[in-house]
Amino acid sequence: MAEQADREFLDAARLALRAPAGGGDPLEALGWWDLLPELSDRDARAAAFALFRAQGRELVSSAALGGLLAAPFLAATGLAPGALVATVSRRSPRRGERLVAIGDVTGAALLVDRPGHGAAVLAHDQVSLRPVAVAGRLAVHEVELDPSAWKAAVPESVAAPARVAGRSLGRLALALEILGAAEGALALAVAHAAAREQFGQPIGAFQAVRHLLAWARTDCVALDAVTTVAVRLGEAAPPRHAEVVKALAGRNGRRVCERALQALGAIGFTTEHDHHHFHSRVLALDALLGTSAELTHALGAWFRETGTDPAVPAAVLLSD
């Protein structure tokens, strides 16, 4: 029953995201913002996170990631869900740390969090939003602000636990969106393998192609299982479990897209084909809130120092 409900949430989200551009905000149509105060409820949590998998599958952007990251700060700011969207810090190889906002953040205040100093809430007239060209149909704006405009609205003592909670939620959301994009790339490869013929038969009949698609499907299924458990566990997840999930998503997502490209052959390299959008979406999402490589390194160092195992105990999985 739980799997059926999860599938229904995902299907509803995909349908809403496919609505015409003039059809209004799909998040409002889904009642998505109303789910944020109810994330302690398993069904509400599953419905909220289903949106991200749908976004990856449909190559759609929204302000949902920023809204989710900001959710733990809402009580401290007195703002309602949807009225506050968190910015995301990412490292540019050429320009260092930069702040970005994902999706259409028009009408919402921006949360600018500075670890060790608290978090500020800035109106749109206090910042400048510069569109960034990112492949994968991902809407990204770089946020520029006058340093003098930053004043902590949330003290560090309150922001610190909210930051940990927000990043855990954000990493799980990104893992699910990576899964959706990887599934989209794999679906293209499977359809191509069934339609493209060589030597009088579909290339999907050849063992080499079958193996590529089977490996890619295995990576998707593994990530599906891990994210499903993480969503169901919620706050009961082991320490740093969201980092494990995000690291796995970045690795598996890239592998799926690379194997799908091998099955597609030359057509997959063309700009007319949608594969590069799914692949680029995976790479762009992997770069947010810690890449797979960065998280894996940090988790390894943490495990060596503490001996803490971030794996989910078997007893917890069996009791679900």
Instruction: Quickly count: other Cβ atoms within 10 Å of residue 160's Cβ.
Output: 16
Tens digits of residue pLDDT in 169-208: 999 999 999 999 999 999 999 999 999 878 989 989 899 9
The confidence score (pLDDT) of residue 44 equals 95
Percent of the chain with pLDDT over 90: 79
The confidence score (pLDDT) of residue 95 equals 77
Dihedral, CA of residue 227, residue 187, residue 277 and residue 259, to nearest 10: 80
Provide the CB-side half-sphere exposure for 191 (13 A, CA). 11
Mean pLDDT score of the chain: 92
3-state secondary structure 6-49: HHHHHHHHHHHHCCCHHHCCHHHHHCHHHHHHHCCCHHHHHHHH
Tens digits of residue pLDDT in 102-142: 999 988 999 999 999 999 999 989 999 999 988 889 999 99
Q: How confident is the model at residue 1 (pLDDT cuts 50, 70, 90)?
A: low
Mean pLDDT of the region 308-316: 70
Inter-residue contact 223 to 248 (CB < 8 Å): yes
Alpha-carbon span 46 to 172, nearest angstrom:
11
Q: What is the pTM assigned to this prediction? A: 0.95
User: At which residue do the structure tokens 């990631």 appear?
Assistant: 65
- Of the listed ranges 70-74, 153-157, 301-305, the least confidently predicted one is 301-305
150 vs 91: which has the higher pLDDT = 150
Mean pLDDT of the region 68-78: 97
pLDDT above 90 for 312: no
The CA angle 250-208-265, to the nearest 5 degrees, is 65
Mean pLDDT of the region 275-304: 96
Residue 265 backbone phi and psi in degrees, to 5: 70, -150
pLDDT above 70 for 224: yes
pLDDT above 90 for 21: no
pLDDT above 60 for 267: yes
The confidence score (pLDDT) of residue 302 equals 94
Alpha-carbon span 83 to 129, nearest angstrom:
17
Inter-residue contact 309 to 303 (CB < 8 Å): yes
pLDDT above 60 for 315: no
Report, in angstroms and rounded to the nearest whole number, the Rg of the chain calculated over CA atoms.
20
Q: How confident is the model at residue 286 (pLDDT cuts 50, 70, 90)?
A: very high
The confidence score (pLDDT) of residue 178 equals 98
Inter-residue contact 142 to 129 (CB < 8 Å): yes
pLDDT above 60 for 318: no
The confidence score (pLDDT) of residue 201 equals 94
Q: How confident is the model at residue 20 (pLDDT cuts 50, 70, 90)?
A: low
pLDDT above 80 for 320: no
Mean pLDDT of the region 152-168: 97
The confidence score (pLDDT) of residue 90 equals 85
